[in-house]
């Protein structure tokens, strides 16, 4: 793993059965090096099941990271948001059944009417509806997935899945797991400029962001990674 010699990891394969909200499936499917077999909403009626965040995960839009969350939303505003999420999902699902002219349990609503095709009726479902798939991949690509998704930059909802999958890797291939935690999760990559900054600091030479050629964001990430105090506001 240290030398990026990847072929041994391609020899091990694993298949997961995953139930996940559609908006998370959309992030997940970007990992193209897996074989995916998804539950067909053309063929079957979708489950009446939706993801609604718990209150402690109901955060406001981050003010400094467009892809992130900020402070928690509390009180009446949180209650109202949860109400909207539940009501919209349930109402859309009821309309889905109405268009299908069929209930989730298979009972027909109105014998005199034709139901809309499943492949069309599904378009009205909310993105928090659950889908399911089998996801088969090899260890190399699974570790790539986990290094991106069991990471603080990943959205909480996909990270939750990745964290559980980390524990399956630990049980399945414990030696690889330890190497992964050591070299990938706990390790870091240094750019050439970043390396020069660290070398100068070790030698006690003068070093600042202007002479480093790093952006403020890179500089701060570097300082934070090494636990140095030169984080810039
Ligand atoms: C925090 C975060 C934010 C993201 N934001 C966005 C976003 O805003 N919009 C968006 O569209 N995506 C976004 N992504 C998805 C991201 O850009 C990747 O597409 C995704 O993480 C899959 O990674 P991957 O390509 O390494 O995985 P895989 O598709 O599994 O590929 C594994 C490896 O195979 C190789 N490979 C695969 N396909 C190709 C190819 N076509 N050409 C060359 N090499 C290939 C690459 O070496 C790649 O690393 C985000 C991901 C993360 C983690």
For the entire predicted model, the pTM comes to 0.92
Q: Is the CB of 33 under 6 A from ligand 1?
A: yes
- What integer best gives the mean pLDDT of the chain? 93
Q: How confident is the model at residue 13 (pLDDT cuts 50, 70, 90)?
A: very high
Q: How confident is the model at residue 230 (pLDDT cuts 50, 70, 90)?
A: confident
Domain ranges for the chain, please list them.
Answer: 7-185, 192-226
Q: Is the CB of 141 under 6 A from ligand 1?
A: yes
Q: Which residues are CB-neighbours of 219 under 8 A, at least 6 positions away?
A: 197, 209, 212, 230, 232
Mean pLDDT confidence for 11-31? 98
Mean pLDDT confidence for 72-84? 90
Please check the confidence at residue 65 and state whether its pLDDT lies above 90.
no
What pLDDT score was predicted for residue 68?
76
Please check the confidence at residue 67 and state whether its pLDDT lies above 80.
no
> One of 2, 26, 118, 149 is an active-site residue; which one?
149
- Give tens-digit pLDDT for 154-205: 999 999 999 999 999 999 999 999 999 999 999 989 999 999 999 999 999 9
Between 3.40.50.970, 3.30.1360.170, 3.40.50.410, 1.10.530.10, what CATH number should domain 7-185 receive? 3.30.1360.170
Backbone angles phi, psi at 120, to 5 degrees: -100, -40
Report which of 231, 26, 31 is spatially closest to residue 136, judged by C-alpha positions. 31
- Give tens-digit pLDDT for 108-150: 999 999 999 999 999 999 999 999 999 999 999 999 999 999 9
Cα distance between residue 207 and residue 194, in whole Å: 11
Mean pLDDT confidence for 55-76? 78
Instruction: Answer yes or no: 149 catalytic.
Output: yes
Q: Is the CB of 31 under 6 A from ligand 1?
A: yes
CA of 135 to the centre of ligand 1 (A): 16
CA of 51 to the centre of ligand 1 (A): 25
What pLDDT score was predicted for residue 71?
80
């Amino acid at each position: 793993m240290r030398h990026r010699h990847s072929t041994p990891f391609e020899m091990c394969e694993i298949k997961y059965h995953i139930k996940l909200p559609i908006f998370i499936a959309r992030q997940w499917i970007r990992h193209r090096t897996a074989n995916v077999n998804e539950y067909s909403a053309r063929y079957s009626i979708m489950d009446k099941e939706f993801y609604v965040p718990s209150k402690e995960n109901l955060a406001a839009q981050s003010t400094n990271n467009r892809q992130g969350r900020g402070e928690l939303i509390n009180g009446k505003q949180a209650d109202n948001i949860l109400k909207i999420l539940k009501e919209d999902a349930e109402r859309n699902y009821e309309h889905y059944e109405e268009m299908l002219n069929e209930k989730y349990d298979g009972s027909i609503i109105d014998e005199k009417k034709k139901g809309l095709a499943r492949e069309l009726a599904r378009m009205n479902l909310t993105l928090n509806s659950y889908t399911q798939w089998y996801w088969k991949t090899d260890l190399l690509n699974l570790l790539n997935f986990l290094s991106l998704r069991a990471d603080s930059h990943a959205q909480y909802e996909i990270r939750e899945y990745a964290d559980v999958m980390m524990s399956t890797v630990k049980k399945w291939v414990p030696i690889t797991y330890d190497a992964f935690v050591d070299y990938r999760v706990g390790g870091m990559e240094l750019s050439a400029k970043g390396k020069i900054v660290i070398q100068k600091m070790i030698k006690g030479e003068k070093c600042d962001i202007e002479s480093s050629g790093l952006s403020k964001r890179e500089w701060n990430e570097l300082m934070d990674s090494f636990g140095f105090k030169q984080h810039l506001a």
